[in-house]
Amino acid sequence: MAKTILPIGPYHPLQEEPEFFTLTVEGERITDIDVRVGYNHRGIEKLSESRTFDQSTFVIERICGICSTSHPFAYTRAVEDIFPMEVPERAKYIRTIIAEGERIHSHLLWLGLAGHFLGYNTVYMWAWKLREEILDVMEILSGNRNNYAMFKPGGVRRDIKPEDIPAALKKIDAIVPTLEMLKNAVIDDPVLHARTKGVGILSKADSIRYSAVGPTARASGVARDLRKNCPYGAYDKVEWDMIVTQNGDVFDKAVVRILETFESIKIIKACLEHLPEGEIDANITSVPPGEGIGHIEAPRGETFHYVRSDGTNRPVRHKVRAPTYMNLPTFKATIVGETLSDATIILASIDPCYCCTERMAVRDETGRKLLHGQDLVRLSREKTERIRREMGVEPQ
Amino acid sequence: MGMKLRALLKSPWVFHLSTGSCNNCDIEVLDCLTPRFDIERFGILLAGSIKHADVLLITGSCNRQSAERLKRLYEQVPKPCLVVAIGECAMSRGMFIESYNCPLPLDHIIPVDAYIPGCPPKPEAIIAGAVKLIEKVGAAT
Amino acid sequence: MTREQALQEIRARFDGVILSMFDKSPSRVYIEIKPEALVPAANYIFWELGARFNIATGVDTRTHIEILYHFIIEEINLLVSLRVKLDRDRPVIDSLTPSFEAANWVEREIHELLGVEFKNHPDMRRLLLPENWPEGVYPLRRDYQEWDKQAVRDRGV
C-alpha cells in the first residue's frame, strides 16, 4: 500500500501553539510519526544567566502561560535547595493554594480542548465558562488572572488577606455542582467511551522507558506523584488522594485529570481554611555558592529546575525541564497503528504544552500536503457522529 | 480598497497566529470567544484557514523559525488585512529582547495596524483594542 | 530498599570509578564518576534501582564541560545526580539512548546547545535551533558571541 506523508501544522486551528507533526500513513493507519519542535524556543536558559535571582522569577513565569506557576515554584525551590533552607509555614500554604488553583484551571482548559477536538463543542464552552470562575478566584487571591507573580526565592511576594478568604471559598463551592455535571457528562457518555476507550494506549513498560510523568504516567498504572512521594508545600498537611488508573488509554487520561480537579478543590479549601499565621518571606539577601534542584508536580507532570550559583547575585546555570519534554516522545508508542480520525485526540491526550518544551513542529520533506489540519478535525468529528448513529444516540 | 475594508469591518473574521509565545495571550484570545466575553455576538469568528482571514491576531516574540513562516503566511492572506499585535512580546519582544533566538520585533517583519499591550492583556483589553481599531479604520474610510 | 542501602550498593558496585560523593541533604546526592563508567552506572540506577531518568544538565564551566544526569528514586524520595567532567575542546561521551529511550531528546538538545558529541546516538538531528543556525556555534557556551548582524537589540526609544 502506498505510503503517504501527512503534515499537521504548523499553524492550524487545532492547537494554539505552533507545532508540526509528520504522520506517515498507509491507507488509514498511521505507521510513523515525527515531531519537530523549536517554534517556541526563546533561549530562556541563557537569559537567566544575565538576570539576578529575583529578576529571573519573572522571566521564568513566562515560559508557559497555562502552567505559569509551576515554573517559579520549581525555580524558587531550586534556589532554596542551594542553602538548603525551608520557607515559613504560611508561605508554604499560600504557594500550595496558588499551585492548586492553577491545576484546576489547567485541567478545565484541557477538558474543553478535548471536547472541541471530538466535536463536543458544548463541553468546550461549558468547561471554559467554568474556568472563568476559577480565574476570578485567583484574581481575588493574587491580583491577576494568570501571571500571579506570587513567588520569590525565600517565600511569597504578597500575602492573602483574611477578608478575601470567605469570598474565594464561596466561589469555589459554587463551582462544584457544575464540575460534577461535567464529570458525569464525560464519564458516563457511551459515545465518548467508544471514541476514547482503547485508543492511544501507553503501556506501563513504555511509560517507564520513556520516563513519562504526570497524568500521562498515572493513567498507565505508574503510581507516582511528587506531591505524595517527595512532599513539599503543604501537601503532607492536608488530606487528599492520588488518582491512578490502569489502562493507559485516552479515556483513562481524561478520568485522571477530571478526578484530580476534585482533589485540588479539596486541597485549596483545606489550605484556605487552615492558613497559619506568620511570616511570608524568609528574606534571603544573598545566595551561597552551590547547586540546587527544585522539582514540583505541575498539572502536566514533574517540572524540574536546576540552578548553580557561584556566590554572586546571578545564576551561573539554570536548567529548565518541563513535563511535556518527557511526554512528547511517547507519541511514537501511542499513535503508531491508530487511525487518522483518532490522531487529533491522541495527540491532545498528553496535554502538550509546547511553550514549556520550546518545541517546534515537524517538517514535511516531500512537500505533499494531502489533508489540512481542518480535515483531521473533520475526520475526528465524523467518527463521533458515525458512532452516535450506530448506537442510536440522539445527536447533540 | 476603502469600500472593501469597510465591508469587512461588519463581521471581521480573525485568524490567530502564535510566533513563539508562552501562550497566555493565545489563551486570552480564546477566552474572548467563550461564553463570558463572547465576541461572536459581534460577528467576530475564528477563521479556520488563513485565506478566510480579515484580521490577523499575532502573539509571540517572533523567533527565527516562526519569522520565516510568518512572512510566507502574510503573503498568502488576501489583502486588505489588518494586523493586530497582542501582548508585550508581539510589540517589542518584551523581556526576550536579548534572546539569541529572537532577532527582530514583529513590526520589522510585517506592517502592524494596532498594538494591544499587556502580559497578557485581559480579554476586556483585547476587546477594547479591537473596537478602537474598527473605529479608527471606519473613520478613515 | 532504604536510602542508606541504595547509596551503599552504589558505592560498593562502582568503587573504582567514583571520584567523589557529596551527600547534600536527605533527598539530594551528587556523585562524580569517570566518563567511561557512565553507561553501566546509569543502567544500574535506572533498571536495577527502579529510578526514573529526570533530565541531563550540561554546564560550560570555563575549564571543562560538565554533564549532570539526574535520576530520582521516588519511593524513597532520593534524587541521585551523576556528574561527569569532559574536556572542553573535544567533549565526547557515550550515549544513553540505546539503554532507555528517555535520553533521546535530552542528548540532542545538549549536543546542539553545548556541542557535546554522544557516541552511538541513533538520531542526532537538530531539536530546537532553526536550520539556518550556523554550525559550530553553541549558544550555551561561555564564549558565545552574537553572530547575527541583522538582529535589533534596542527598543528604539
Instruction: Tell whether the model's pLDDT for residue A39 goes beyond 90.
Output: no
Query: Closest partner residue to A360 among B65, B119, B120, by Cβ?
Result: B65
Measured distance CA(B35)–CA(A174) in Å, rounded: 18
Instruction: Tell whether the model's pLDDT for residue A377 goes beyond 60.
Output: yes
Which amino acid, A139? Answer: E
End-to-end CA distance of chain B: 9
Query: Closest partner residue to C101 among A37, A209, A319, by Cβ?
Result: A209
Chains A–B, number of C-beta pairs less than 8 Å apart: 111
Say if the Cβ atoms of C102 and A224 lie within 8 Å: no
Nearest-neighbour CA in chain A from C68: distance (Å)? 10
Measured distance CA(A191)–CA(A214) in Å, rounded: 26
> Which chain A residue's Cα is nearest to B94?
A59
Instruction: Tell whether the model's pLDDT for residue C118 goes beyond 90.
Output: yes
Measured distance CA(B85)–CA(B25) in Å, rounded: 10
Say if the Cβ atoms of A295 and C72 lie within 8 Å: yes
Describe the strand order of the beta sheet including C18-25 as a list of residue ranges: C18-25, C28-33, C78-87, C64-73, C52-60
Reported confidence tier of residue A141, pLDDT bands at 50, 70, 90: very high
DSSP A130-180: HHHHHHHHHHHHHSSSS----EETTEESSPPPGGGHHHHHHHHHHHHHHHH
Which amino acid, B6? Answer: R
CB count within 10 Å of CB B54 equals 23
Which amino acid, A269? Answer: K
Interface residues of A toward C, Cβ cutoff 8 Å, are: 37-38, 41, 43, 45-46, 81, 84, 208-211, 213, 224, 226, 229-230, 291, 293, 295, 302, 304, 306, 308, 316-317, 319, 321, 325-326, 328-329, 358-360
Residue count (chain B): 141
pLDDT at A97: 94
Query: Closest partner residue to B64 among C130, C144, C155, by Cβ?
Result: C130
Q: What ipTM score was computed for the predicted complex, to two decimals?
A: 0.94
Least confident of A7-16, A41-50, A378-387: A7-16
Residue A366, all three cell numbers: 516531500
Backbone angles phi, psi at A318, to 5 degrees: -135, 115
pLDDT at A350: 83
pLDDT at B121: 92
Backbone angles phi, psi at A372, to 5 degrees: -85, 170
Alpha helices in chain B (DSSP H): 2-9, 24-32, 64-76, 88-92, 123-140
Query: Which of B65, B69, B106 is the mutation pick for testing C, counting most C CBs within 10 A?
Result: B65
Of residues B21 and B42, which shows the higher confidence score? Answer: B21
Instruction: Tell whether the model's pLDDT for residue C123 goes beyond 70.
Output: yes
**What is the radius of gyration, based on Cα positions, of chain B?**
14
Reported confidence tier of residue A135, pLDDT bands at 50, 70, 90: very high
Mean pLDDT rounded to a whole number for chain A: 84
Give the mean model confidence (pLDDT) for residues A108-121: 86
Query: Closest partner residue to B36 among A66, A68, A129, by Cβ?
Result: A129
Instruction: Return the percentage of chain B with pLDDT > 90, whole number.
Output: 18
Nearest-neighbour CA in chain A from C149: distance (Å)? 18
Contact between A11 and B17 (Cβ < 8 Å):
yes
Instruction: Tell whether the model's pLDDT for residue A358 goes beyond 50.
Output: no
> Which chain B residue's Cα is nearest to A356?
B22
Burial class (CB in 10 A: 0-12, 13-18, 19+), C131: exposed
Whose grid coordinates read 517507564? A208
Say if the Cβ atoms of A65 and B50 lie within 8 Å: no
pLDDT at A228: 92
Say if the Cβ atoms of B104 and C152 lie within 8 Å: yes
Which residues partner with B86 through β-bridges? B116
Backbone angles phi, psi at A393, to 5 degrees: -90, 145
pLDDT at A3: 55
CA distances from C18 to C32, C40, C83, C136 (A): 6, 12, 10, 32
Say if the Cβ atoms of B108 and C146 lie within 8 Å: no
Interface residues of A toward B, Cβ cutoff 8 Å, are: 10-11, 13, 16-18, 38-44, 46-47, 50, 58-59, 62-66, 68, 109, 112, 124-125, 128-129, 132, 145-147, 353, 355, 360, 372, 374
pLDDT at A24: 77
Reported confidence tier of residue A369, pLDDT bands at 50, 70, 90: very low
Instruction: Tell whether the model's pLDDT for residue A1 goes beyond 60.
Output: no
Query: Closest partner residue to B95 among A10, A59, A132, by Cβ?
Result: A59
Measured distance CA(C84)–CA(C93) in Å, rounded: 9
Give the mean model confidence (pLDDT) for residues B115-122: 92
Least confident of A361-365, B72-76, C120-124: A361-365
* Nearest residue to A332 (alpha-carbon basis) of A121, A31, A55, A96: A31
Measured distance CA(A148)–CA(A164) in Å, rounded: 16
Say if the Cβ atoms of C152 and B101 lie within 8 Å: no
Instruction: Tell whether the model's pLDDT for residue C127 goes beyond 50.
Output: yes
Say if the Cβ atoms of B105 and C152 lie within 8 Å: yes
CB count within 10 Å of CB A390 equals 10
Least confident of A1-10, A290-299, C18-27: A1-10
Mean pLDDT rounded to a whole number for chain B: 85
pTM summary value: 0.91
* Nearest residue to B85 (alpha-carbon basis) of B36, B37, B125, B47: B125
Contact between C109 and C121 (Cβ < 8 Å):
no
Mean pLDDT rounded to a whole number for chain C: 91
Contact between C24 and C7 (Cβ < 8 Å):
no
Measured distance CA(B130)–CA(C7) in Å, rounded: 61
Say if the Cβ atoms of A128 and B99 lie within 8 Å: no
Measured distance CA(A209)–CA(A181) in Å, rounded: 37
Strands C28-33 vs C78-87: parallel, antiparallel or unpaired: parallel
For C39-56, how does the pLDDT look when each residue is reduced to its tens digit (9 = 90+)?
Answer: 999 999 999 998 999 999
Contact between B89 and B61 (Cβ < 8 Å):
yes
Instruction: Tell whether the model's pLDDT for residue A354 goes beyond 90.
Output: no
pLDDT at A373: 56
C-alpha neighbours within 13 Å on the C-beta side of residue C134? 10
* Nearest residue to B90 (alpha-carbon basis) of B74, B114, B69, B68: B114
pLDDT at C36: 92
Question: Please, what's the b/e burial string for C134-155 (b: 16 or more CB within 10 A of its CB; e: otherwise)?
Answer: eeeebbbbeeeeeeeeeeeeee
Say if the Cβ atoms of C30 and A326 lie within 8 Å: no
Say if the Cβ atoms of A16 and B27 lie within 8 Å: yes
Interface residues of B toward C, Cβ cutoff 8 Å, are: 63-65, 68, 92, 97-98, 100-101, 103-105, 108
Of residues A32 and A95, which shows the higher confidence score? Answer: A95
> Which chain A residue's Cα is nearest to C100?
A209
Query: Closest partner residue to A229 among C28, C74, C139, by Cβ?
Result: C74
Contact between A210 and A286 (Cβ < 8 Å):
no
Instruction: Tell whether the model's pLDDT for residue C16 goes beyond 80.
Output: yes
C-alpha neighbours within 13 Å on the C-beta side of residue A12? 19
Instruction: Return the percentage of chain A with pLDDT > 90, whole number.
Output: 51
Nearest-neighbour CA in chain B from A185: distance (Å)? 19
Give the mean model confidence (pLDDT) for residues A272-285: 92
Reported confidence tier of residue A82, pLDDT bands at 50, 70, 90: very high
Non-local (6+) Cβ contacts of A57 within 8 A are: A72, A75, A76, A149, A151, A152, A153
CB count within 10 Å of CB C69 equals 24
Least confident of A19-33, A135-149, A268-282, A364-378: A364-378
> Which chain B residue's Cα is nearest to A43?
B99
Least confident of A96-105, A245-254, A363-372, B121-130: A363-372
Give the mean model confidence (pLDDT) for residues A321-340: 87
Measured distance CA(A90)–CA(C132) in Å, rounded: 50
CB count within 10 Å of CB A166 equals 10
Identify the H or E element spanning B82: strand B82-86
Measured distance CA(A297)–CA(A235) in Å, rounded: 11
Backbone angles phi, psi at C55, to 5 degrees: -170, 165
* Nearest residue to A353 (alpha-carbon basis) of B24, B102, B63: B24
Reported confidence tier of residue B141, pLDDT bands at 50, 70, 90: low
> Which chain C residue's Cα is nearest to B69?
C130
Instruction: Tell whether the model's pLDDT for residue A315 goes beyond 70.
Output: yes
Query: Which of A8, A19, A40, A55 is the mutation pick for testing B, counting most B CBs within 10 A?
Result: A40
Measured distance CA(A27)–CA(A370) in Å, rounded: 12
For A251-273, how does the pLDDT look when each residue is reduced to its tens digit (9 = 90+)?
Answer: 999 999 999 999 999 999 999 99
Query: Closest partner residue to A42 among B24, B28, B102, by Cβ?
Result: B102
Of residues B72 and A97, which shows the higher confidence score? Answer: A97
Nearest-neighbour CA in chain C from A191: distance (Å)? 35
Non-local (6+) Cβ contacts of A313 within 8 A are: A52, A53, A286, A287
Question: Please, what's the b/e burial string for A23-49 (b: 16 or more CB within 10 A of its CB; e: otherwise)?
Answer: bebeeeebeebbbbbbbbbbbbbbbbe
> Which chain A residue's Cα is nearest to B34?
A125
